[in-house]
């Protein structure tokens, strides 16, 4: 299915973006590891998260949908060997965290995914988990499909390790922490840069004890988790599309409600403010241990900046939509230290450079950087975009089409369901011309 976005009038109104994908994955996984019935409200019901729910069911838990975004999951305090291969679809977060959680149990499980996921690197989690005693039979380069042989070879628990992450990665950190729950001793992780800390926060909510000193995180093995209630806030990565659309479409003003404001996830909002965006945050409050608030965005004249490379972990998923904002800004926006974008669902640096160039923007692509030369006005548009099967590439270019002089069409839209179900309808409700 193709979608086209056409130049639109002002975007206005209040909206509640979908539940946060990162927290949704973790709520299902920790609920499965815990003892008792965990209640989840606001779960993102996109394809990625539903694959994680299916994986938890295959591993012996009992997740059940009881209403829109409302789920309960009966955990048994352990995971069991699945009867069939576990398909994680397109979700890198889901498969890496699930493998980490399952590695601590004496079971064998085979994991696969779609074509995109099978191309993505898994050695970054396999290496530390092998140091802990888990074993893997994987495709070439440590990729999916792979079979996990959990627990130590002698049938005992994994062994604790002290591991320094070679790159800042919340997924790798989380996989090690989840495996560390069933390791003998205290597992320590050292981060080169702070990354999103949802796993640490949620582990505490499920009764686990962690020690956090600077960039060192320690977890003792042998801990048991207890069922909890989780309220999932709106995903800032999803809210970003409506927010940037409001900034670049003249006359727009909208309110995105209940948005996660965890400081490890707000890099885009700070970057937009640095570019001159009229953004304000209201009604800050707590939701299940996470800060949330309402973000008000108004049409703004943006200026290009140099984005601090150390900010990348706090906005790694938002660079595609930031590139759209940069294409509408005055001056150069320089984004460096983003090599991680090469190994997401697609090569996001290459696809954003190609798509923006097709729409008339001036863009330079480097190995770990994207440089957008803005003119102070949206580029002309008028192109069909090859999305590479990547939901964020697709949605970013549709947002550009709302401000461009000519419509922007994407070659495929089905994969948007992985993270943002009903995205076109959501945007149309605010006044966007997308069909």
What are the residue numbers of the active site?
A: 317
Where would I find the H helices in 236-379?
236-248, 267-274, 319-327, 348-358
CA dihedral 65→66→71→74, nearest 10 degrees, is: -90
* CA separation for the pair 155, 411 (Å, rounded): 50
| Phi, then psi, of 176 in degrees rounded to 5 | -70, -40
The backbone region for 120, taken as left when phi is positive above 0, alpha when psi lies in -120 to 50, beta otherwise, is: beta
Taking Cα atoms as reference points, which of 75, 64, 21, 59 lies closest to residue 43?
Answer: 21
Taking Cα atoms as reference points, which of 64, 30, 353, 330 lies closest to residue 201?
Answer: 30
Give the bridge partners for 408, in sequence order: 5
How far apart, in Å, are the Cα atoms of 304 and each of 30, 31, 277, 326, 405?
Answer: 41, 43, 11, 6, 21
* CA separation for the pair 11, 21 (Å, rounded): 25
Q: Three-class SS of residue 221?
A: coil
How far apart, in Å, are the Cα atoms of 413 and each of 231, 349, 387?
Answer: 29, 19, 9
- Helices and strands in the chain: count of H runs, count of E runs: 13, 26
* CA separation for the pair 401, 87 (Å, rounded): 34
Neighbours of 145 (CB within 10 A): 16
């Amino acid at each position: 299915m193709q979608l086209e976005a056409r130049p639109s009038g002002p975007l206005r109104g209040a909206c509640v973006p979908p539940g946060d994908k990162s927290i949704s994955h973790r709520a299902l996984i920790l609920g499965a590891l815990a003892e008792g019935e965990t209640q989840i409200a606001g779960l993102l019901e996109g394809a990625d998260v539903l694959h994680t729910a299916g994986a938890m069911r295959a591993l012996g838990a009992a997740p059940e949908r009881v209403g829109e975004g409302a789920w309960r999951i009966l955990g048994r305090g352990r995971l069991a060997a699945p009867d069939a291969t576990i398909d994680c679809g397109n979700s890198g977060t889901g498969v890496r965290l699930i493998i980490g959680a399952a590695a601590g149990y004496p079971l064998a499980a085979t994991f696969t995914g779609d074509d995109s996921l099978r191309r993505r690197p898994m050695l970054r989690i396999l290496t530390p988990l092998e140091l802990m005693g888990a074993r893997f039979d994987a495709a070439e380069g440590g990729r999916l499909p792979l079979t996990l042989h959990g627990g130590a070879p002698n049938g005992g628990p994994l062994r604790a390790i002290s591991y320094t992450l070679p790159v800042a990665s919340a997924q790798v950190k989380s996989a090690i922490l989840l495996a560390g729950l069933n390791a003998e001793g205290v597992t320590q992780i050292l981060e080169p840069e702070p990354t999103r800390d949802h796993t640490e926060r949620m582990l505490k909510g499920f009764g686990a004890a962690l020690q956090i000193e600077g960039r060192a995180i320690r977890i003792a093995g042998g801990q048991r988790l207890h069922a909890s209630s989780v309220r999932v806030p709106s995903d800032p990565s999803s809210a970003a599309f409506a927010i940037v659309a409001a900034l670049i479409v003249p006359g727009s003003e909208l309110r995105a409600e209940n948005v996660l404001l965890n400081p490890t996830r707000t890099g885009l909002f700070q970057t937009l403010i640095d570019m001159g965006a009229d953004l304000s945050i209201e009604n800050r409050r707590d939701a299940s241990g996470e800060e949330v608030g309402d973000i008000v965005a108004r049409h703004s004249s943006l200026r290009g900046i140099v984005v601090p490379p150390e900010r990348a972990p706090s906005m790694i998923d938002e660079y595609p939509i930031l590139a759209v904002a940069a294409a509408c800004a005055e001056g150069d926006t320089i984004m460096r230290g983003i090599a991680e974008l090469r190994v997401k669902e697609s090569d996001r640096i290459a696809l954003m450079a190609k798509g923006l160039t097709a729409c008339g923007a001036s863009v330079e692509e480097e190995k770990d950087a994207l440089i957008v030369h803005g003119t102070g006005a949206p580029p002309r548009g008028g192109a069909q975009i090859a999305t590479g099967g990547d939901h964020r590439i697709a949605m970013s270019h549709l947002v550009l089409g709302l401000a461009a002089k000519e419509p922007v069409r994407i070659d495929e839209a089905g994969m948007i369901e992985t993270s943002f179900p009903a995205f076109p309808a959501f945007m149309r409700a605010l006044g966007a011309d997308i069909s």
